[in-house]
Structure 1
Amino acid sequence: MMTWIKNISRHLIVSLDRMYFFNYLILILTSIGYFAYLYISGLKAGNVDLKTILHGSPYSAIMMIVVLVNLIVGYYLWQKKDDVLASRETARWTFWPLAVCQLLLGNIVNATISLLVYLSISERKLDNTKADASIKSLAIISSAFYILCLTLIISSMTRH
């Protein structure tokens, strides 16, 4: 699987910066798209508010948490680009957990782009300093939320 992704990244003429941009852009746009979906669903149901939608569907409520975490991670990646890409260790702490969690949650596009960014880190001359503590904590906290949401999704699916 990894060699297949490396072959794709070699054939695509896409730089690390562009893949990084698409990574946080997809995180932010999918969040906005989900909010729009909930809004339109509420309008179709006859002006139903968000609270009613989230109470009626546990899956929607759980995905709201995932979407909010995606929005926070995407915004953080956008604002801290220079810090994230400052060292290999920091970039690895950011993109490996993000790719795994996004893949587990079904966001295959973002998981693929995160893996491409992770594999493209060697393209840039980055120093091998230790990972930034704030980025490590973001990776750990967001991964914990993603795993919690995955657990909740699985448990809600097995109950029904």
Structure 2
Amino acid sequence: MVSKINNFVISFLNRAHLDTKKILTTYIYALILIPLFFGSFIILTSSIAKQNINVVLNNTPLIAIDMIVALTDFIMGYYIWLKKDLILKHEGNYRFLMFTQAISQLMVGNIFCLILALFGIIRINEQTGKLKCQSSFIKVPAVIFLAIFGFCLVLTISIFIRK
């Protein structure tokens, strides 16, 4: 069953001509553009409601947590864009980044980025065996952002428990 799904995804990636570089580029665009659209939406809704953004964030703490997630995604997208060549140079860096990003995006519920990260993991696993992350310039920020997303998940769960 798993191999059939894996074969289906690999054939989809081959038909779509998605290699590791294109997947990473699409992932960068998603990490940068989704937070920009979310911020624009928050500004639009606050202007329609004729409220200050601080009032909106105080009234709905989940939006405040989502703003933290969006800002973190934007910073991570920009950082990955700057280090794109280093990530693509070593397959271990790519695998580690996509694995941590898959976990991070699963924690915050960003399904589109989760799917892209899983595509990246599947594509790199198809090519090579086990490799370790070569660069601390990739490892440290990925773990820091993973911790931030974990903190946001804990905040979200605590808000739902209080209700």
TM-score normalised by the chain length of structure 2 = 0.87
CA distance in 2: counterparts of 1:6 and 1:62, whole angstroms: 37
CA RMSD between the two structures:
2.1
Counterpart position of 1:9: 10
- Deviation of 1:33 after TM superposition, in Å, equals 1.0
Match of 2:47 among 43, 47, 51: 43
Structure 1 alignment gaps of length 5 or more = none
Indicate the residue corresponding to 2:148 in structure 1.
145
Q: Cα distance 1:130–1:108, how it changes in 2: closer, same or farther (>3 A)?
A: closer
Which of 18, 28, 35 is 2:32 aligned to? 28
Contact 1:93–1:131 (Cα < 8 Å) also in 2: no
Aligned length: 158
Mapped partners of 1:23, 1:95: distance in 2: 10
Decide which of 118, 121, 131 is 2:121's aligned counterpart.
118
Q: CA deviation at 1:120?
A: 1.4
Residues 10/143 of structure 1: CA separation in 2 closer, same or farther (3 Å cut): same
Question: 1:70-149 maps to which residues of 2 (within 5 A)?
Answer: 70-122=73-125, 130-149=133-152
- Is 1:68 the equivalent of 2:48? no
Moved over 3 A (4+): 122-125
CA distance in 2, matches of 1:145, 1:130: 21
Of the structure 1 ranges 112-121 and 142-151, higher mean CA displacement relative to structure 2 is found in: 112-121
Distance 1:93 1:85 in 2: 11
- How far apart are 1:42 and its partner, in Å? 0.5
- What is the CA distance between 1:64 and its match in structure 2? 0.7
* Distance across 1 between alignment mates of 2:37 and 2:6: 27
Aligned sequence identity (%): 28
